[in-house]
A and B are shown apart, each in its own frame.
Chain A
Amino acid sequence: MRILAFESSCDETAAAVVEDGRKVLADEIFSQVKLHEIYGGVVPEIAARSHLEVISLLADRALKTAGVTRRDIDAVACTYAPGLIGAVLVGVNFAKSAALALGVPLIPVHHIRGHIAANYLAFPDLEPPFVCLAISGGNTMLVDVRGYTDMSVLGQTRDDAAGECFDKSARVMGLGYPGGKPIDDLSRQGDDRAYDLPRPAVNDGNPFDMSFSGLKTAVVNIAHHAQQTGQPLDKPGLAASLCRVVSEMLVSRTMDAAKLLGYKNVAVAGGVAANSRIRADFEAACEKAGRALFVPPLRLCGDNGAMIGAQAYYEFLAGHTADSSLNAYATMTL
């Protein structure tokens, strides 16, 4: 089954063709990073305008790269939630119209489920159950993946996403946007104990919930304090300390969850999974605990259409299709 899949929830427009949930025939992405750079973050209206400008072209390219025609498409899928509403709307409305005109099923896909499914593309033998940490600029979620479409949120951030914490920290350190990569690069040269950063604890109720806003504020305060007092800021040290604390918060909870559920497999997904400290800590923790670790390659960690096409296949098998009244949503439970 060949699925044409669209993703437009934030600042990447993507169209992909995926066969039977596992084989990527095409994965075309247009990144808007350059458009948003001068604003220091994603501007929703600019994102929505750009998606509409390039989506037809990306669909053309996806078919061309896959070497298929419109008639070879068996279903159309799209991210329908969560995301920047104006941005998601473009992909949803394009996709559902295309599905109607082609006379094929329409499959709505939850963006985070898509990130989790990136693992199915990278690791052909991986099957549920496993525990998955989904970390990106907009989401931080620990998920019990019992089946391809049967999953529940074990814990999540109460405030900012881990990626948001990196972006804001990079901003106050003058590292530009997006902040994940420059923080990661800088952290490799720094002492990860240079700064004693707080580990915001969520003490009420769910031990798997997280909080990053206090950590973000601590970094902002350190940077501003150095600026005001004229003291030098150890940027590599601050970046390394930040990566260590974020990684410890994420890795410990994920490993605890895997132990509690008795799962052998641990997966990571989303753009923040590109962080080298988080990857290294997960590798060490999984080796120690005797669990198998799955982290997709960088290209599949960021937003892409292939992951939506992968998850869409399993949603289709579970009967999760939609009609032409499908709407887009800024927020949606997993």
Chain B
Amino acid sequence: MLTLALESSAKAASAAVFDDEKMLAFTIQNAGLTHSRTLLPMAEGLMRGLDMAPSRLDRVAVSRGPGSFTGLRIGMAEAKGLCWALDIPAVGVSTLEAMAWGGPVLDGQMLCCCMDARRGQVYNALFTVEGGKPVRLTPDRAISLPELESELIARQEPCILLGDGAALCYNTLDRSQVTLFMAPEPLRLQNARGVGLAAMGQPAVPAGELMPAYLRLSQAERERLAKLERE
């Protein structure tokens, strides 16, 4: 089963092609160029390099969030366009779960995946590793740093920080009460390899139904609700 994996939830964009769980090709770009220009040519280049027509794809896996709203939409619009044209299904993968699968999956370790969500929050999920695979401990959520700190202290386990919020957590959380490690740099950020690996165990759905998990309303909606609450 051939899967194209796309990742564009943050600054870097990456694409990978998998034959079942075996990664055939992978490419990443982290130059700050817009994903709208770079991501599809990257996917096209991988398939050309593999001498593989896009029509051979069985499914497309893509980060569904959390992450940059625009970045998520670029990846997902491309996944939807490919799937629509080829009449194949898609798999939407949690960005945080993709981060865990692409990280240091050492048995017994706790992985704390965090993206800087600003406004004093991180998008976060916790995983433990069993048999070389991340197993989810919490759902994806937007959580304040003090809340995350209390939770990690209560769990009483050392944990490995991943994601673009790793440094923020490392520098903010109370390290006298919880043991934190930064994942080594090449394994720290979400990428298409993690998306492809995380997608393996997940069911594919009609791509038209796929929607990003933004985990946050638009600013206009938040302001309107806040205003209604005040009145």
Report which A residues bind B (CB closer than 8 A): 38-39, 43, 45-46, 48-49, 52-53, 55-57, 59-60, 70, 86, 89-103, 323-328
Contact = CB atoms under 8 A, between A and B. Distances in A.
Given A93-B40, A100-B54, A55 B87 contact: no
Interface in B67-122: 69-70, 73-74, 76-87
Interface residues of B, number: 37
B208 A325 contact: no
Contacts of A70: 85, 87
Contact of A97 (B37, B77, B212): B77
B220 A94 contact: no
B175 interface: no
Chain A CB within 10 Å, residue with most, of B34, B73, B76, B86: B73
A99 B81 CA distance: 8
A93 B218 contact: no
Interface of B: 34, 36-38, 40-41, 44, 53-55, 57, 69-70, 73-74, 76-87, 207-208, 211-212, 214, 218-221, 224
B80 A55 contact: yes
B204 to A, nearest CB: 14
B82 A97 contact: yes
A104 B169 CA distance: 47
A181 B24 CA distance: 56
B90 to A, nearest CB: 10
Given A56-B208, A89-B36, A100 B73 contact: no
Given A45-B69, A60-B208, A100 B84 contact: no
A56 B210 CA distance: 10
A8 to B, nearest CB: 9
A102 B53 CA distance: 10
Contacts of B81: 93-98, 100-101
Contacts of B40: 93, 96-97, 100, 324-325
Interface SS majority for chain A: helix
Given A48-B73, A52-B212, A98 B85 contact: yes
Contact of A328 (B36, B38, B83, B224): B36
Contacts of A53: 211
Contact of B78 (A56, A59, A94): A94
Contacts of A100: 40, 44, 54, 81-82, 85
Nearest to B211: A53
A41 to B, nearest CB: 9
A266 to B, nearest CB: 37
Given A93-B81, A94-B78, A325 B41 contact: yes
Contacts of A98: 81-82, 84-85
Chain A CB within 10 Å, residue with most, of B78, B83, B87: B78
Given A97-B40, A101-B81, A328-B36, 14 more contacts: A46-B221, A48-B69, A55-B80, A86-B73, A90-B77, A92-B77, A93-B73, A96-B40, A97-B79, A97-B80, A103-B53, A103-B54, A324-B40, A327-B37
B44 A45 contact: no
